[in-house]
Amino acid sequence: MQIINNPKREDWTTILQRPTQTVVDIEGTVNQIFKEVSEKGDIAVNAFTHRFDGVSLDTNVVSVDEINEAIAQVSEPLKKAILLAKQNIEAFHTAQKTTKVELETTEGVSCWQEKRPIQKVGLYIPGGTAPLFSTVLMLAVPAQIAGCKEIVLCSPPNKEGKLAPEILYAANLCGVTKIIKVGGIQAIAGLTFGTETIPKVYKIFGPGNQFVTVAKQLATKFGVAIDMPAGPSELLVVADESANPSYIASDLLSQAEHGADSQVILVSTSQDIIEKVSDEVEKQLSVLPRRDIAEKAIANSKLIYVDNDDLALELIDEYGPEHFIICSKNEDLYVNGISNAGSIFIGDYTPESAGDYASGTNHTLPTNGFSKAYSGVNLDSFTKSMTFQKISKAGLLNIGESIELMAEAEGLQAHKNAVTIRLKDLK
């Protein structure tokens, strides 16, 4: 990991740059795949699955027999662990329900707002080197609580043309209505346009690699909403001399093992902690099963020393991390002062892994600095707010003249007439 001491403020943007390709590098590939899927449907999807995943499938759709077989393959201890995580995620997201907001803004004018579920949602679950069945829980549980009618899950098949048993078990447990063995750009394209086997949805959720992220952004051009731009994983830890170096190293490596394009950063007010964490990272890295992947991510990562906590907080806000861990005696400064972060983990005994799996918060979070403007997935992500109003005769008499004057001032005569014609009948 690169050690940087007291970087100048004008160098922060360069130092904090993510190790990702630009949209321009990827967009051509994404556009081509979208075009072919929109024109050829499953024929194109299957061709891309063969090309990128190395497998040809008789059907993309997971059968009931495959689900039952998968359920039998998952061990009882893991089923219990998944159930515990589901219960905590369910509890936290159920608590996010809001009641109807209703108000009489003026006499005779009633306005209210209600949340209604998005009817058709698509959940993208990464596969590859680490099939993320935990993401099934993070997306399907709030979708079910919100009341979404169609919950379509897409995930890339392995070389045998199957999905991980844990993914199928979690999907079945959480009420997913259709499971499709398709991944990558072609999955996002399928959910965007619809094919013979992949339903068209109204909103797409889920993390993925840089290609999936750009594909989701392109989907918005075709009238499909997305949760957020969520690309390669990232973690920033802030620590002082009171922190435990081995804990910090384990947290940094927990994100580094996600993928070669992940990024982890330590910001510290202690030179001693930086040196100790650097040593611990090397020690723990040497015995990791996913060492080769983690090493590549660590090469893109940094240990940054700054003089004080106020400066550290400014730098962290500039970065806008997906995950932010606070290991500092001055934790209140960071907890109360942070403006840009996807999810925050406080204290020595709150590893980021807890949020990834079982504490109850959602792990689908904005990356690449998008935490400056986007929230992580929550219950409201699966609903839309609809406003209603009802105006009585007295109410229209109260606000009618104001509407007429405003409409006339904007040059919209028909708008004015819609009120005038009613007011004539009331006077």
**What are 109-157's pLDDT values in tens digits?**
999 999 999 999 999 999 866 788 999 999 999 999 999 999 999 999 9
Q: Which ranges constitute the DSSP H helices of 209-349?
A: 210-219, 245-256, 271-285, 291-299, 309-319, 331-337
**What are 45-90's pLDDT values in tens digits?**
999 999 999 999 999 999 999 999 999 999 999 999 999 999 999 9
Q: What was the pLDDT predicted at 260?
A: 86
Q: How confident is the prediction for the chain on average, in pLDDT? A: 95
Q: What was the pLDDT predicted at 209?
A: 84
Q: What was the pLDDT predicted at 19?
A: 79
Q: What was the pLDDT predicted at 343?
A: 98
32 annotated to bind ligand:
no
For the annotated catalytic residues, the residue numbers are 322-323
Q: Interhelix angle for 42-53 vs 23-40, to 10°?
A: 140
The whole-angstrom separation of Cα 22 and Cα 34 is: 19
CA distances from 147 to 120, 137, 202, 418 (A): 10, 15, 14, 37
Q: What was the pLDDT predicted at 145?
A: 98
The whole-angstrom separation of Cα 32 and Cα 185 is: 10
Contact 399, 376 (CB under 8 A): no
**Phi, psi torsion values for 204, nearest 5 degrees:** -115, 135
pTM (2 d.p.): 0.94
Count other C-beta atoms under 10 Å from residue 308's C-beta: 9
**Phi, psi torsion values for 183, nearest 5 degrees:** -130, -175
186 annotated to bind ligand:
yes
**Phi, psi torsion values for 379, nearest 5 degrees:** -60, -40
String of b and e for 42-62 (b: at least 16 CB within 10 Å)? bebbbbbbeeebebebeebeb
Q: Which residues contact 333 (CB under 8 A, 6 or more apart)?
A: 309, 310, 313
Count other C-beta atoms under 10 Å from residue 20's C-beta: 19
The whole-angstrom separation of Cα 259 and Cα 232 is: 7
323 annotated to bind ligand:
yes
Contact 267, 235 (CB under 8 A): no
String of b and e for 330-344 (b: at least 16 CB within 10 Å)? bbebbeeebebbbbb
415 annotated to bind ligand:
yes
CA distances from 72 to 35, 159, 367 (A): 40, 21, 36
DSSP 298-312: HHT-EEEE-SSHHHH
> Cα torsion at 117, 34, 293, 16 (round to 10°)?
-80
Count other C-beta atoms under 10 Å from residue 141's C-beta: 27
93 annotated to bind ligand:
no
Q: Residue 13 class from Cβ within 10 Å (0-12 exposed, 13-18 middle, 19+ buried)?
A: exposed
Report the candidate in 134, 120, 119, 212 with the shortest Cα–Cα distance to residue 167. Answer: 134
258 annotated to bind ligand:
yes
The whole-angstrom separation of Cα 358 and Cα 87 is: 9
**Phi, psi torsion values for 283, nearest 5 degrees:** -65, -50
356 annotated to bind ligand:
yes
pLDDT < 70 stretches in the chain: 20-23, 128-129
**Domains of the chain as residue ranges with CATH:** 2-20+232-360 (3.40.50.1980), 23-99+118-228 (3.40.50.1980), 392-426 (1.20.5.1300)
2 annotated to bind ligand:
no
Dihedral sign from CA coordinates of 166, 172, 174, 177: positive
String of b and e for 204-230 (b: at least 16 CB within 10 Å)? bbbbbbbbbbbbbbbbeeeebbbbbbb
Q: What was the pLDDT predicted at 21?
A: 57
